Structure 1
Amino acid sequence: MALVALGALVLAGCSPTEEVDPLLQEHGLAGMDGRQIVEHLEATGQARPLPYGASVRETEVLLSEGEHEVAVPLPSGQHYVSIAPYVDVTHDCYYHSLATCQGELVEQPVEVTITSDDGEVLVQEQAVTHPNGFVGFWVPSGTAGTIEVTYEGMAGAVPFTTEDGDPTCITTLQVT
């Protein structure tokens, strides 16, 4: 009898007891890490606003619905910068809301170059803005530099920094 109880105790100690947060489960985000959640929600074609909150902070993505909140960690040493280049219309934004932010240039081809102040090119690529009008990149934390965007022969540039407390949302980049 003692052997059976000991065996049950050993097996129970090896069993996974981690429960999936109901908010993540309900919205199809269970099993995703923070980076995957950000990239999934950024690219979703679901109409904004989403039925829940999702805010990208420096070290976590904060999901909320009513009074319930869950924070999912983001990769250490990386900072998400979501850019909504615009021609005519923009909005104020500091921490990127994956649930409500809507940029002007929806599903448009852009060329993005992100360069650090010491001249290192961190990103240089052709991209297409998502249905929310944003395009996002993971850059090293503790970096300062310039973001340049070209769109249909127009161009614009803004400075950026990725220190603690810096924004994850860039809505000031006008292409002219």
Structure 2
Amino acid sequence: MKYAAGEDLLAEHGLDGLEAEEIIDRLDTMPVQERPTDLTASVRPDTLVVSDGPQGRETGLELPEDRFYLSMATWVDGTHECFFHSLTTYLGELRDEETEVTVTDDADDSVLIEGTVQTSDNGFAGFWLPSDIDATATAEHDGHTGSTRISTGEDAPTCLTTLELS
């Protein structure tokens, strides 16, 4: 679903014709220096909201009902508060770093994600997870480890910046 007031907004930023998942993946992995400064994109549990702020144009693209996007920025020395992930503004501490990540479904202990991920230039690593689950995310980087519970429900955060590695 796109809001009529912002249909041309995506075209102006070369994002027209892309599905919400493709826009999220493109913007979240874009080098920081190439990020558009006149565009904001916020990932909600069910919608990607894209706007140009002062211009007043906004468009929303629905996300698949069975998938949930969680962007994770692990940290050692410092972090910031975050609830809905911003694809064009937020920066995490561990930029362009390899991190071992495991995400396990709490209901049946099935492993949803396991392996080495490279954080993007923004310090985040994004994961598409099943919707409506409770899980545990564990990360390890350079001898530091941490673990936290996550949820992918309709009121859950799409940004995880509380996973401290100690």
Relative to the length of structure 1, the TM-score reads 0.86
Question: Which amino acid in the other structure matches residue 37 of structure 1?
Answer: I
Q: Does 1:121 align with 2:111?
A: yes
Distance in 2, Cα, partners of 1:80 & 1:125: 18
Match for residue 91 of structure 1?
A: 80
Q: How many residues get paired? A: 157
Q: CA deviation at 1:72?
A: 1.0
Match for residue 160 of structure 1?
A: 150
Higher relative CO (CA 8 A, sep ≥ 6), structure 1 or 2?
2
Distance in 2, Cα, partners of 1:106 & 1:96: 16
Question: Which amino acid in the other structure matches residue 98 of structure 2?
Answer: P
Match for residue 136 of structure 2?
A: 146
Q: Which runs of 5+ in 1 are unaligned?
A: 1-19
Distance in 1, Cα, partners of 2:152 & 2:125: 17
Distance in 2, Cα, partners of 1:89 & 1:49: 25
Residue 28 of structure 2 aligns to a residue whose secondary structure is: helix
Superposed CA deviations along residues 16-64 of structure 1, whole A, max 9, x for unmatched, are xxxx921101111111100000000000003367321100001111000
Distance in 1, Cα, partners of 2:82 & 2:57: 23
Kept in 2, the 8 Å contact 1:49–1:100? The answer is no
RMSD: 1.3
Q: Which runs of 5+ in 2 are unaligned?
A: 1-5
Distance in 2, Cα, partners of 1:112 & 1:129: 11
Distance in 1, Cα, partners of 2:37 & 2:72: 19
Q: Does 1:74 align with 2:60?
A: no
Distance in 2, Cα, partners of 1:136 & 1:77: 16
Relative to the length of structure 2, the TM-score reads 0.91
Distance in 2, Cα, partners of 1:99 & 1:23: 15
Q: CA deviation at 1:100?
A: 1.0
Match for residue 51 of structure 1?
A: 38
Q: 1:103 aligns with which of 82, 92, 99?
A: 92
Question: Which amino acid in the other structure matches residue 49 of structure 2?
Answer: L
- Identical counterparts, % of pairs: 39
Deviates more, 1:41-50 or 1:20-29: 41-50
Question: Which amino acid in the other structure matches residue 101 of structure 2?
Answer: V
